[in-house]
């Protein structure tokens, strides 16, 4: 297993539409394992393949306290959503350090395939419902900050770009053997 690079907002690759997974094979199993290691290391509760620059319909989620209930949702689709909506404070591994309220369906029912290609359905509420909706947004090229006002979104974009420049400068200095 290996830790994958998580794309950071506003990277344009986060806006690519994911294609359905066609083959349930060893490559897919390795991708799920690498994504899990990446998500737990970050640390997070969900990760979409799009966030690691693999544009396939795959999300992994583990909202358990003990971090031992990983579920891979492959080619997921929401087949039912409640009319009731709730605002949840969300964050994202692609937008580190940023949290804000997003309105989502309180309950959802999702149909997906597991890593072996077996279909399953899950009814979810609370954090799991939020996480499913959040991660599935990544598959259609949407990042949670796009639910926020243009002013907030622009401030976040500016902050992320500034941080990225700082990380690049730090890496350059490190490569030159300089201390900072």
> Which pLDDT tens digit goes with each residue over 117-159?
999 999 999 999 999 999 999 999 999 999 999 999 999 999 9
What distance in Å separates the CA atoms of residue 101 and residue 41, rounded to the nearest whole number?
24
131 belongs to an annotated ligand binding site? no
Residue 169 has pLDDT above 80, yes or no: no
Which pTM was predicted? 0.92
> Which pLDDT tens digit goes with each residue over 7-36?
999 999 999 999 999 999 999 999 999 999
Q: Choose, from 121, 135, 163, 168, the residue flagged as catalytic.
A: 135
User: Three-state DSSP class for 83?
Assistant: coil
Question: What is residue 178's predicted lDDT score, i.e. its pLDDT?
Answer: 65
Question: What is residue 155's predicted lDDT score, i.e. its pLDDT?
Answer: 95
Degrees, nearest 5: CA angle 150-6-166: 70
Asked if 123 is an active-site residue, the reply is no
Question: What is residue 180's predicted lDDT score, i.e. its pLDDT?
Answer: 53
Q: Is 92 left (phi over 0), alpha (psi -120 to 50) or beta?
A: beta
- Domain extent listing, the chain: 12-148
User: CATH number of the domain at 12-148, out of 3.40.50.2300, 3.90.45.10, 1.20.81.30, 3.40.50.1370?
Assistant: 3.90.45.10
What mean pLDDT is reported for the chain?
95
| CB neighbours of residue 114 within 10 Å | 14
């Amino acid at each position: 297993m290996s830790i994958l690079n998580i794309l950071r907002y506003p990277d344009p690759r986060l806006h690519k539409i994911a294609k359905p997974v066609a083959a349930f094979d060893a490559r897919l199993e390795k991708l799920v394992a690498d994504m899990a290691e990446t998500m737990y290391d970050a640390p997070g509760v969900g990760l979409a393949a799009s966030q690691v620059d693999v544009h396939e319909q795959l999300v992994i989620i583990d909202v358990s306290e003990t971090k031992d209930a990983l579920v891979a949702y492959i080619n997921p689709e929401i087949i039912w959503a409640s009319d009731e909506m709730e605002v949840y404070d969300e964050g994202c591994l692609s937008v580190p350090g940023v949290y804000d309220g997003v309105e989502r369906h309180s309950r959802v029912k999702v149909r997906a395939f597991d890593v072996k290609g077996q279909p399953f359905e899950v009814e979810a509420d609370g954090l799991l419902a939020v996480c499913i909706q959040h991660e599935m947004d990544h598959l259609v090229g949407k990042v949670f900050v796009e639910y926020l006002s243009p002013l907030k979104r622009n401030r976040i974009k500016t902050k992320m770009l500034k941080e990225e420049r700082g990380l690049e400068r730090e890496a350059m200095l490190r490569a030159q053997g300089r201390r900072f």
